[in-house]
Structure 1
Amino acid sequence: MLRSYIFYHFLRTSFLGAFLLSVILFSLQFVRLSGILLGVPLKDFLGFFTVWSVFYTYFFLPDGVILATASLINSLKERRLVHVFYSFGISDLKILYFFSFPFVALYLLLVSLSGTLIEEKVAFVRKNLLFKYQDSFFREVPVKTFVGFGGAVIYVDEREGDRYKNVFFKFRDITILSRELEYKGKGVFLFKRGTVITEEESLFIVGFERYTLNLRQFEKKGLREKRVRESVAINVANAVITPILFLGVFFFCLKFCTRVSHFYGAVAFFIILHQLIIFAVKVLL
């Protein structure tokens, strides 16, 4: 009975806590990406949110373990079950034995998905979301205003449907002045009657009748191998430190926490410690 209670509540609290942390992080990112997220179709927004939630729920599972362990020990202490265990000769290791079943199940999941659920895939989905927003952005450029998106700056004097006239366009080392511009979609611009200026080693000025520029040719396609390796390394580090965090919060709460405030403090300390370790790993990579 006790084993089933601990198993259920440990897994439920771990996943719920990890999911809530992912939602909190998403809400912070939403402030920065609100213009893009609200400018794409609902299905694309929901798709991105799903990918985000799945990965970061996985990423925050060690923090969920910390929360579940502390809350369960607090629950047992509030019901004075820990004193009952001691009176029947049940040691700390025996209590740890009860906690180990749900932890091992969750830990096996954490390890098995370390090479699959990686942060670079979230970045890849976010980049595709930016591409979709890019199309709607460049089809509705306001006139007589300098606007920028994705490293490109554009100014148009007039607009007739999907065509722009008297255009200034700058992207990286390329500056284009043209009489007319038509956005073809998928990052492709067709400029007509103008001048292109490049600023690499020296300044080149070339006149043209028609000039096509594809912004997406400057973007790396697919997953970036270096970032994939870094993401896997972070997941492995996450998996390695999880048992240490679990044992640390278990024995600390069992031995030293006597008030609810103590448990809150322990949870905050171990979660911050976890994030500092992951941050250090990212810096070293």
Structure 2
Amino acid sequence: MPEGDSVWRAAARLHTALAGRELTRWDLRVPRLATTDLTGRTTLEVVPRGKHLLARFEGGLTLHTHLRMDGAWRVFAAGRPWHGGPAHEIRAVLGTADHTAVGYRLPVVELLRTADEGRAVGHLGPDLLGPDWDAARAAANLLAVPERPLGEALLDQRNLAGVGNVYKAELCFLAQVTPWTPVGSLPDPGTTAVRLAEAARRLLSANTGEHGGRNTTGSRRPGQELFVYGRTHRPCLRCGTPVREALQDGRPAYWCPRCQSGPAPQSPPGN
């Protein structure tokens, strides 16, 4: 599931393959952009912004893409076979003399002026992995609606950019509260919100390496990489109580009923 760390890695791979090189192939397979052509132009840089990717080209143009749930960018050496899904799932192809970048299942593909990037990403809060990171501002954003459940506030990219469902679950566990706990009910809300924001940055930063795995526990044992996410019915790594699961705003939420205090719904049968 793409979150801020995996988007950061994708941007790094694309930047390495494309930046400073002339485009020899430009193929956007979305109807409104099918006739555009930037071949011959140089890619200036590829940067992440939260869960968004911005590829900037000479001439003041930016290709904005978003991976959402299952989109992916793959980079291949020129002439090598592509893999990442069937051909009908390809939405973008960017090529140089040495590499080809292929975007699969991209739900957002738009070409805009670089000066207008704010239209696509200007609503985002401080980027957990970006130069604009500001823990105090992120904490203030989280606390702006005190009655809002913490899990929903963490996922709102307007508060802080980069947290997805995995990190939401793990951050709530580290804070020892359920995802349904109102942010205004956190113990010492101001201090806790800042610590949560700082913890989010540390976790994402620690998982930007090319190993591709995601680890929040520090354990290298298989199956113990995450505290609660995806561990329904399995023992909590701290207390041994079975982890529970229920939907929150349409997405699965995970928590330990012993380690995490606060409100929680009744789990459906079997969960």
TM-score between both structures, scaled by the size of structure 2: 0.23
- Which has the greater radius of gyration? 1
The structure showing larger relative contact order (alpha-carbon pairs under 8 Å, at least 6 residues apart) is: 1
1 or 2, which has the higher helix percentage? 1
